[in-house]
Amino acid sequence: FPEMLSNPKLILVQGTLNVVLKQNVTLSCLSESGSPPVRYTLFKHNQQVSALNRSDSSPALFTLTISSASDTGEYKCKAEYNISSGGKYSNSLSLTLFEPISKPVLSSPTSHAKKGQNVTLSCLSENGSLPIRYLFFKGTQNISPQKTMQKREAAVIFLFIDSLSDFGTYKCKANNSFPNNSKYSNGFNFTLAEERSHSQPLIISLGLILLLLIIGFALAIPFLIIPLYKASE
């Protein structure tokens, strides 16, 4: 009778658990006690990925190519004798996809502002592994603490337009754990909203009154001149 199999050990022998697209990863599965031949099967989320038979005490090596996000997740392996209906399962290993971020988009609900107004700026990268860290700039000056977003949602800051100097160019920067992958957004500018002067309605009203007086005086001239002319005859 074959020696009883021990629970196999699943270990990473090539690559990293934090993977990127097109990366190769090799996993090793081995029961330290047991009599060959042994059949090793690799599973991902309880779905069979591959199977290998070993006629000696060497480990089964499974090489994976990460072609999409569906290739990541939890892996386990199973060791069993060909003549056996049972088997032993290993520990699990989880592969996590690291995806570079896309260029963030900086936007605001309004592009027009005036002095004394509160405005908001939103920065969002549509793609990239979470969490994503955001920084906001005006020109080259950082204007906010770093905002770390654990969900796929925009980082938002609130600004108070205090003077004309606040109408410069704003940008944001996004990065995640993917190495050397910081990206800057488009530039965004607020334009100064035209403020109607409080004196304009008064000036218009005075102009209309003056125009009406001139018209009234012009209409009254014949009635003033004719009596004077008759009186002088």
Every domain of the chain and the residues it spans: 9-97, 105-192
Average pLDDT over residues 226-233: 61
Extended beta strands in the chain, E state: 9-14, 18-19, 24-30, 38-44, 47-54, 60-65, 73-80, 88-89, 93-97, 105-107, 112-113, 117-124, 132-138, 141-142, 147-149, 155-161, 169-175, 183-184, 188-189, 191-192
Average pLDDT over residues 166-188: 92
Q: Does domain 9-97 have CATH number 1.25.40.10?
A: no
Non-local (6+) Cβ contacts of 45 within 8 A are: 73, 74
Q: What is the pLDDT of residue 25?
A: 97
Non-local (6+) Cβ contacts of 193 within 8 A are: 112, 113, 114
CA 226 to chain centre: 85
Give the mean pLDDT of the chain.
Answer: 89
pLDDT higher than threshold 90 for residue 86: no
Q: What percent of the chain has pLDDT over 70?
A: 89
Identical fold at 9-97 and 105-192? yes
Q: What is the pLDDT of residue 2?
A: 66
For residues 30 and 165, the model is more confident at 30
Non-local (6+) Cβ contacts of 114 within 8 A are: 161, 192, 193, 195
Indicate the residue type of 217: F
Cα Rg, the chain, nearest whole Å: 39
Contact status, residue 183 vs residue 103, Cβ threshold 8 Å: yes
For residues 233 and 154, the model is more confident at 154
pTM score above 0.75: no
Q: What percent of the chain has pLDDT over 90?
A: 62
CA-CA-CA-CA dihedral for 147, 149, 153, 154, to nearest 10: 10
Q: What is the pLDDT of residue 228?
A: 59
**Interval 14-49: pLDDT, tens:** 999 999 889 999 999 999 998 889 999 999 998 999
Q: What is the distance between the alpha carbons of residues 137 and 187, in angstroms, rounded to a whole number? A: 10
Q: What is the distance between the alpha carbons of residues 10 and 12, in angstroms, rounded to a whole number? A: 7
Q: Select from 3.40.50.10490, 3.20.20.70, 2.60.40.10, 3.40.630.30 the CATH code of 105-192.
A: 2.60.40.10
Least trusted range by pLDDT, from 47-56, 119-128, 202-211, 217-226: 217-226
Non-local (6+) Cβ contacts of 209 within 8 A are: none
Contact status, residue 166 vs residue 192, Cβ threshold 8 Å: no
